[in-house]
């Protein structure tokens, strides 16, 4: 091929590249899913959420459980509530795992514990998207820490009975003031006056 033709080809190829906008950088192969090009939350769901156990002892509640999310979710946002009051949140990466919760400063009594899981997508740049409109799950369980009982608290419970704690355990009184919790009649034959 003549030299003048070769130079002409080089010149024309340069003009073509310039006219067409130059070279375009293509994304690297194998780039992780969850990037901005994907529909971040489409089909994401929490597919499993459990409470393995929750208990309250001396003012502290503790619990744990498991979670699983479906593609394209690759993380979960957990919300922990006691008696419907938000206590804390946690964001955990992965498609499944174990969650843990603890809270202190509770008084004795019965409490409703609830954990809610919402799917999330963490993209390759570290951006975090919580998929609020997608399928979430919520589970609840009661945790009890019985209050200490004492005679005079108005509750006939545990080791109390009509003899050890008449004030809490009597259903009524006889004319002589004795407790008559076992029957409607008193030992002197009179009728028990029920409260």
Burial of 115 (0-12, 13-18, 19+ CB in 10 A): buried
pLDDT of residue 161: 73
Nearest to 84 by CA among 111, 105, 56: 111
pLDDT in tens, the chain (195 residues): 555 555 544 444 444 444 444 443 444 444 444 444 346 798 999 999 999 999 998 899 999 999 999 999 999 999 999 999 999 999 999 999 999 999 999 988 899 999 999 999 999 999 999 999 889 999 999 999 888 777 777 777 767 776 677 777 777 777 766 776 555 667 667 777 665
Q: What is the pLDDT of residue 29?
A: 44
Q: What is the domain partition of the chain in residue ranges? A: 45-145, 149-195
What's residue 6's pLDDT? 52
The model's pTM is 0.60
Longest Cα–Cα distance in the chain: 137
CATH code assigned to 45-145? 2.60.40.10
Q: How far apart are CA 146 and CA 143, in angstroms?
A: 10
Residue 59 to residue 148: CA distance in whole angstroms: 13
């Amino acid at each position: 091929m003549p030299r003048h033709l070769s130079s002409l080809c080089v010149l024309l190829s340069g003009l073509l590249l310039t006219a067409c906008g130059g070279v375009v950088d293509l994304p690297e192969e194998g780039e992780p899913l969850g990037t901005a090009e994907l529909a971040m939350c489409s089909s994401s769901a929490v597919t499993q959420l459990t409470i393995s156990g929750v208990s309250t002892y001396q003012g502290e509640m503790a619990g744990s459980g498991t979670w699983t999310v479906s593609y394209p979710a690759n993380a979960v946002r957990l919300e922990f509530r006691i008696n419907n009051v938000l206590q804390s949140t946690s964001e955990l990466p992965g498609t499944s795992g174990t969650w843990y919760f603890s809270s202190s400063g509770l008084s004795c009594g019965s409490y409703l514990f609830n954990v809610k899981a919402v799917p999330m997508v963490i993209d390759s740049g570290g951006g975090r998207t919580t998929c609020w409109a997608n399928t979430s799950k919520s589970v609840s369980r009661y945790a009890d820490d019985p209050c200490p009982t004492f005679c005079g608290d108005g509750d006939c419970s545990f080791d109390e009975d009509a003899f050890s704690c008449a004030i809490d355990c009597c259903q009524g009184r006889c004319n002589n003031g004795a407790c008559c919790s076992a029957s409607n009649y008193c030992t002197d034959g009179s009728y028990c006056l029920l409260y």
